[in-house]
Structure 1
Amino acid sequence: MVDDAWSSALHRLWQASSRAEEVEALADDVYAPLLATPGVHVVVGTRWDEKQVLRYTRVLSDGSDAPVIVTAPRTVPAAAVREPGDDPVVIRSAVAGLDDAVWPEAEFLRQTPPGTSVVACTFRLDRRGWATLGAAVDASADVPAVERRLMQAADVIVACRTGILQRGREARRGADDALLAEASLQMDSSLDVVDTLRRVARIAVPAVADGCLVHLLRSEGPEFVAATHVAVQQQRALEAAGRDDPWLAALLARRGEDEDPLFLSGAALDGSPFAADAATAGDGRHPTVVSISTLHARGRVVGSITFVYQRPEARLPDSAFLRSLATRAALAIDNALLYELRRNAVLSLQEHLLPSRLPVTDQWDLSASYEVGDPMLDVGGDFYDAVPRPDGSIALLIGDVCGRGAEAAALTGLARHTLRTLLEEGTDAGTALIRLNRALRQERASRFLTAVVTTLTPQADGTALVSTCSAGHPAPLVLRGDGTVSEVLCDGLLLGVLDDVSYESHEDRLAPDDTLVLFTDGLTESREADGTFFESVLPQRLAALRGLDAAHIAESLARQAKGFRASGQDDIALLVARWTGVPPGTGPLPHALRLERAAL
């Protein structure tokens, strides 16, 4: 015979189980229908963890309007005999014969009429816990029917718990994927090694752990780089451990090529800065678990991440997530390291393509500035030099090879050293440019370059004669002592394009405290977001620097152009010469030029 009331209740129970976020939410749909079964006086349920700790007790008795709920944890070691295996177990026993040490719910079952029995279904909820659902029945009860209903209710409860765990895993997986995606974006947004490592630590706390330490592997061993913790006081202790703790340093050194995260807790942390007796900071809690992930990238170890957890075990990340996070962090760190190596190589090569020092006399205040547009774009082709000449004059030269890279670097070296050698020997500027053009054509250079050469010759009247030859290069500017700015008129063909070229010299005069400014197009072509070029504001910016020495003018213009730039990656080179007005024949002899390091 079909019990329509129970069937309807069971149907409602299955529907509720698909929506429940906690198993306890099913209680009303489970206990009331079971209590309505003929011959049932009490329905009692208990929930246990794997260590025989009773976490939850719920009792509903006939004649009672509300259930009794006990949530205080209680350890019951003898209850281990009741723990089920993989399959549910049904037990029948007289209530009077229950052992309180095994059945802590017996105190509620004994509140039934004399002669009642308990029918209980014990079943696993998940790998970490189990539960019992029982009923106290009298002699009138259909015991097999009660057993069947208990088993059916247990099936729903287990299915509900499985669904909750599955949905939790899916939500956790979605959250983990989102965190990994955000971590990748954050870490990939920087190519600075230290900044990247600090981003790793900030991303992980508190989303992954309560504390995080990041170490970079150097040739001499692990180097502490970053630490963060949800508690400021504990962060200080964490930083100290990352820098100086021998236990942690030894552990990191032993990790080697291990790819799986290492989890440590309890006695494994004895002697460490994470042990219970070492935690005196913050709120007094000590880390319950520590995990260490080795960072591998391109077949080598680049560092390690140490996570510190002060949270329940259920909230610890799994090994797969930690491996994925470590892989992403390792690649970001490795990219930053490669960028740093490349940047240093580019800057070093760029430095060797420029003069290490500029000549200086009492007559001329010389300085230069060089701003690399983007080291990742390879070596640029900008160059400059200042060359003392046999007649006591000084030749200034500046140029720009088209493009970047090894070929541009080779042409840069050829151009600067060719011009320097010729000018040192006394060759005039126009002839020097012609001979450089011939050399480029003979070498079948695939790139062209621009250059300007200016010869500065002191005059007896206290002025300086400026003779300028240009090969397609931006014209130099003159900042007068009164603040006016003028352009040195000069023009000429690019170098390395045609076989037959000639270059005319254009003359100008500098009065004392006048300043000559030579530059490459990286200065003038710096562009704001609205499309405005720095060239349009350069005269005004230069005029505002009246009265400053050459070093300040060079550095200020380069800095202003770089700050002005919203687009453009070209290098910026400047060579500045301020005429002091000291006439020839005073001070040091022209050929006895002193040298000082240039302001590069």
Structure 2
Amino acid sequence: MERDDGPKAARDHSWAARLHRLWMVTGGVTDVTAMADHVYALLLAEPEVLAVVGTRWTGGELRYTRRLTSGTRPVTEVAEDGTKSAGAARRPDSSDPAAHGPAVVDRLLPDGEGDFAPEHRLLSDAGAAAALECRFVLGENDWATLSVGLAVPVGPDDPLRQRLTQVCDVLVAINRRIVDVRAHERRQVEEAFLAEASFLMDESLDIEETLSRVARLAVPAVAEGCVVHLFQPDGRLVPVARAHVAATAQDWLSEVTRRDTWTGDTLRRVMRGRTGVVLREAELAGGPFGAATDGPGRLVRAVSVSPLRARARALGTLTFLFQRTDEDISGLRMLDDLARRAALAIDTSTSYELRRRHVAQLQRHLLPPALPSPRGLELSAAYAVADASLDVGGDFYDAVQRGDEVALFIGDVCGRGAEAAAMTGLARHTLRTLLEDGAAPGRALERLNQALLREKVSRFVTALVTLLVPDGDGYLLHTACAGHPPPMVLRADGDVAEVHVSGVLMGVLDGHRYRTATVRLNPGDTVVMFTDGLTEARDAGGVMFETRLVDAVRRCGAARGAVAEHLVGMAADFRASGDDDTAVLVARVTERS
């Protein structure tokens, strides 16, 4: 093949090299306008070109013009707000930018401006008699033109046409890359924000505290103002969390979101839909936001409202107030995503609180409403829930006064949940009835064991029964045990000893006999009964509270009537792990008057 080394080939080679350099300098460009100096200089270097003019448009509205002529520096003129020109007629089709790439149009300047404003004036002032105009799409409502002024028209095969198109192709590609980078960066920021918001919402089960944290996190990261409304049982939509970047606007925001009719109607209208809305300009008419209003609301340029919905239930709304430009407003997808996460957190917290109340109510029925006040004895009890799952525990206790005698019992059903709760109720009420009928501790446990075997229960039960019988100025303590931790006796002088008594747990073996151990309690002595949740609490190193029990009982002796509460509190402070409930029942011998 014969090599063409003529002037045209050299010029084509020079153009390709310069176009390549243009592409290479775009690496750090963050806006396509930053390429203007390079692009205009490249085109102005062409022999036929007298001047280069570029325009940027939003729809049919001119944003700015930029021009360069030989021997001058580029000049940029920002269009006045609301300036309209012939842009609407010239606007390229942006429905499919790939199918409608840059298009070159011939212009004869002596014909008048027509639909070639403002380029006509600028190129004519530079002495041009003709022009080539190239239009190209940069975004959905964003487009631009690049025009070169010529001394004379060029032919249809002139290389300048292709070169102008190539430059515009480069600008489109650069802009696309910039848009992609910005979108990626925004997604990263949004994902980081959503992750942080989710973490805050997962950290607490208090609804209002959770939403307050989200509002404070969102301002000013997402918007200048944020308000969360929740439906109340009576149907009212009430703001429960709010934040504003201006401290002086806090009271205004609270008043507006609580009492303004337009705001309330807008929120309820959004709640009837499934997705959020962003309101701008005329859509804000009639409300407390937008340029037509007074006070802090005048600075608000847009308002977004997203419904809070979970499990097909309307919970409330998440509203953002924006004072920033459209380009800086977070996408509705992200705002709705945040609303979905907030709604799930609200639903979880609501369900947790409802379940907590139900469990607490059920637990109260499994424990005695009050302990008797027998003469010569001081009784106290404490109960602590350790399981965060909020299942009903199997610990129980009670006290029965029968004349001068007092029967105390404490027990534990294996496991948690509804089945454990049912067995707890059975065990407690059976023991109470047997003791009220005068059964001795061992006999009461034997009868309960038989009842459990008849019911063919799938869970075992442990229990400890003591009977305090008056004996002179003190009491005799008769104790029977069914697989339960034995009681501790704290003497008045501070000595602590375990009552040696044992027996197999109930619900397993038929015909077992439970023996009774007897010790004497003198005035000032205390008997402490507890479930294994106390002894099995572990610290961070895995050490069990059982190793501290004797010392803890001794130290709690000075608390007198609050021995049970102090002992449970010490175990709670000690516990780093262990999910079993703790029950403590205490009887202290006082002076019998």
Scaled to the shorter chain, the TM-score interval is: 0.7 to 0.9
Moved more, 23-32 or 222-231: 222-231
- Give the Cα–Cα distance (whole angstroms) in 1 for the partners of residues 267 and 151 of structure 2: 66
Unaligned runs of 5+ in 1: 584-600
For the 8 Å contact 1:54–1:75, the answer to whether it is kept is no
Q: Secondary structure at the match of 1:133?
A: strand
For the 8 Å contact 2:308–2:343, the answer to whether it is kept is yes
Alignment of 1:413-562 (within 5 A): 413-460=425-472, 462-550=473-561, 552-562=562-572
- Give the Cα–Cα distance (whole angstroms) in 1 for the partners of residues 425 and 531 of structure 2: 16
Moved more, 251-260 or 356-365: 251-260
Aligned position for 2:71: 63
Match of 1:206 among 214, 217, 220: 220
- Give the Cα–Cα distance (whole angstroms) in 1 for the partners of residues 282 and 68 of structure 2: 44
Alignment of 1:38-437 (within 5 A): 38-50=47-59, 52-55=61-64, 57-64=65-72, 66-71=73-78, 73=80, 75-80=82-87, 83-86=90-93, 88=103, 90-94=105-109, 97-98=112-113, 103-104=117-118, 108-109=122-123, 111-113=125-127, 116-139=129-152, 144-221=158-235, 222-276=237-291, 280-281=295-296, 286-374=299-387, 376=389, 378-390=391-403, 392-437=404-449
The superposition leaves residues 494-517 of structure 1 with CA deviations (integer Å, 9 ceiling, x where unpaired) of 122211222222222333333322
Moved more, 135-144 or 463-472: 135-144
Q: Secondary structure at the match of 1:547?
A: helix
Aligned position for 1:586: none
- Give the Cα–Cα distance (whole angstroms) in 1 for the partners of residues 507 and 17 of structure 2: 94
- Give the Cα–Cα distance (whole angstroms) in 2 for the partners of residues 39 and 275 of structure 1: 51
What is the CA distance between 1:450 and its match in structure 2? 1.1
For the 8 Å contact 1:465–1:510, the answer to whether it is kept is yes
For the 8 Å contact 2:278–2:332, the answer to whether it is kept is no
- Give the Cα–Cα distance (whole angstroms) in 2 for the partners of residues 20 and 423 of structure 1: 87
Moved more, 419-428 or 135-144: 135-144
Aligned position for 1:566: 576
For the 8 Å contact 1:17–1:157, the answer to whether it is kept is no
What is the CA distance between 1:538 and its match in structure 2? 2.3
Q: Which amino acid aligns with 1:379?
A: V
- Give the Cα–Cα distance (whole angstroms) in 1 for the partners of residues 81 and 285 of structure 2: 29
For the 8 Å contact 1:468–1:505, the answer to whether it is kept is yes
Aligned position for 2:18: 9
Q: Secondary structure at the match of 1:529?
A: coil
**Superposition CA RMSD, Å:** 2.9
What is the TM-score of this pair, normalised by structure 2? Answer: 0.88
- Give the Cα–Cα distance (whole angstroms) in 1 for the partners of residues 34 and 292 of structure 2: 41
Q: Which amino acid aligns with 1:205?
A: V
Q: Secondary structure at the match of 2:85?
A: helix
Say which structure, 1 or 2, has more relative contact order (CA 8 Å, 6+ apart). 1
For the 8 Å contact 2:68–2:74, the answer to whether it is kept is yes
Q: Secondary structure at the match of 2:389?
A: helix
Moved more, 531-540 or 101-110: 101-110
Q: Which amino acid aligns with 2:41?
A: A
What is the CA distance between 1:49 and its match in structure 2? 2.5
What is the CA distance between 1:307 and its match in structure 2? 1.9
Aligned position for 2:591: 581
For the 8 Å contact 1:76–1:102, the answer to whether it is kept is no
- Give the Cα–Cα distance (whole angstroms) in 2 for the partners of residues 137 and 537 of structure 1: 97
Aligned CA distance change for structure 1 residues 254 and 45 (closer, same or farther; 3 Å): closer
Q: Which amino acid aligns with 1:215?
A: H
The superposition leaves residues 274-317 of structure 1 with CA deviations (integer Å, 9 ceiling, x where unpaired) of 45566635xx7632211221122222223321222222112223
- Give the Cα–Cα distance (whole angstroms) in 1 for the partners of residues 75 and 486 of structure 2: 94
Q: Which amino acid aligns with 2:500?
A: L
For the 8 Å contact 2:359–2:390, the answer to whether it is kept is no
